[in-house]
Amino acid sequence: MTDRPAVAIIMGSQSDWETMKNAADTLDALDIGYEARIVSAHRTPDRMYEFAKGARDEGFKVIIAGAGGAAHLPGMTASLTPLPVFGVPVQSKTMSGLDSLYSIVQMPGGIPVGTMAIGRAGAINAALMAAAVLALSDEDLADRLDTYRAEHTASVAEYPSDEAP
């Protein structure tokens, strides 16, 4: 086993990075290591197979997979690895991400993908789900996650403001 970070962030295309970077930024905020790769079930099937088959032995513990449109990447990856896979439906231009969501969420029984919301919020929450899984066996991370959540709560203003973005 090589010394891989705990989380793999994979995405179907470079164009998904704008969304998936939100997962990376959230992992950074929690000081969780990750590796981001472009892996497509459609365009680079051999790369996807090799990645998913080897992910556990490489040392990854959680996979975050983002894709848009005919978003088969999260499900295909989940079919090839026992690691938890969180799927992020990337917002598509033609169908606002509903196509991505439906492609990811409706998995057949037996092969789960933890499906997140469409777009930025989904990418952030995928990172937080990965953090929650990892925190089960890492007390320092559990403390960091508690702090992150407390700060998030504290950042929510009680009253609306004309100046707020």
| Residue 64 φ then ψ, to 5° | -110, 125
Q: Which is nearer to ligand C2R, 41 or 78 (CB)?
A: 41
- 45-58 and 73-80 helices, crossing angle to 10°: 50
* 107 touches ligand C2R by CB under 6 A: no
Q: Is 13 annotated as a binding residue?
A: yes
Neighbours of 88 (CB within 10 A): 38
Tokens 């990418």 locate to: 123
What span, in angstroms and rounded, lies between the C-alpha atoms of 93 and 119?
A: 12
**Footprint on residues 36-55 left by ligand C2R (CB under 6 A):** 40-43
Selected binder of ligand C2R within 12, 87, 119, 122 (CB under 6 A): 12
Establish whether 16 is an annotated binding residue: yes
* Structure tokens belonging to residue 41: 């079930």
- Determine if residue 43 is labeled as part of a ligand binding site: yes
Q: Does 13 bind ligand C2R (CB under 6 A)?
A: yes
Out of 7, 71, 78, 135, which residue is the one contacting ligand C2R (CB under 6 A)? Answer: 71
Which two tokens mark 132? 């929650």
Smallest gap from residue 32 Cβ to ligand C2R (A): 23
**Which residues inside 75-104 make contact with ligand C2R, applying CB under 6 A?**
90
- Cβ 77 to ligand C2R shortest distance, Å: 9
User: In terms of DSSP bridges, do strands 7-11 and 62-68 run parallel, antiparallel, or are they unpaired?
Assistant: parallel
DSSP state of 38: E
Q: How far is the CB of 68 from ligand C2R (least distance, A)?
A: 3
Amino acid identity of residue 139, one-letter, is: E
Binding-site members for substrate are 13, 16, 43
